[in-house]
Homo-oligomer: A and B are copies of this chain.
Amino acid sequence: MAGDTRDRMIDATVEALRRRGVAGMSFTEVLRDSGAARGAIYHHFPGGKGQLVAEAASRNGRDVRANLAALPADDPLALVESFLALIRPVVECSATGSGCAVAAVTIASGEPAENASLREVAATAFASWTDALAARLRVSGLAPDAATDLATTLLALLEGAQVLCRAEGSVAPFDRMTRTALDLTRTRYAAR
């Protein structure tokens, strides 16, 4: 098939970004994991590493966004609870070294032009996640401003938890954080 190789290369790149970041990742690794040949890189991605990484981060951004948009929105508290339940498996991966691909793309290492382009991709992905979460929070009854603020907070918690859990090699930081988050949200948004 045609686009199959290209697809597998992007998938392998997402995984490589998660584990090693853009500077730490290598074509050797991507080619090994995708089974593609060396020349396939510049055939499918004339822009080289920058283009491959950008497409990988972009795909990951869309995938995650779809998950967030499908969250139940009965009320704010339920949404926070289901958000935390949704991301726990993701954070568990961080405990074994697999972080956020979009966050990884944030770290600059090359020339300003390429960096700006990659940061733009990351910013777009994060914005789409914030928007998806905020939309659900509005549906659940929150005012627009409060929804955006809380959505950003939840996203910061997700990204932060991945960092802490990767360092500690366990989900314990996430679970501690979850207790506080639920405690605070219940106090504030309980439909009592």
Contacts and interface: CB of A to CB of B under 8 A. Distances in A.
Interface of A: 19-24, 97, 99-100, 102-104, 106-109, 115, 119, 122-123, 125-127, 146, 148-150, 152-153, 155-161, 163-164, 166-169, 173, 176-177, 179-181, 183-185, 187-188
A149 B177 contact: yes
A169 B123 contact: yes
A95 to B, nearest CB: 11
Nearest to A173: B152
Contacts of A123: 167-169
B109 A166 contact: no
Given A102-B167, A157-B156, A187-B187, A20 B181 contact: no
User: How many copies of the shown chain assemble into the complex?
Assistant: 2
A150, A164, A185, A188 pick with most chain B CB within 10 angstroms: A164
30 contacts: A20-B23, A21-B23, A21-B24, A21-B107, A23-B23, A23-B24, A24-B24, A99-B107, A100-B163, A106-B163, A107-B166, A119-B166, A125-B167, A126-B164, A126-B173, A127-B168, A149-B176, A149-B177, A149-B180, A150-B180, A152-B164, A152-B177, A153-B157, A153-B180, A155-B164, A156-B157, A156-B164, A159-B164, A160-B160, A184-B188
A106, A146, A166 pick with most chain B CB within 10 angstroms: A106
Given A23-B109, A122-B167, A150-B180, 18 more contacts: A20-B107, A20-B108, A22-B24, A23-B24, A24-B24, A123-B169, A125-B167, A126-B167, A149-B176, A153-B181, A156-B160, A156-B164, A156-B173, A156-B177, A159-B164, A163-B163, A184-B187, A188-B188
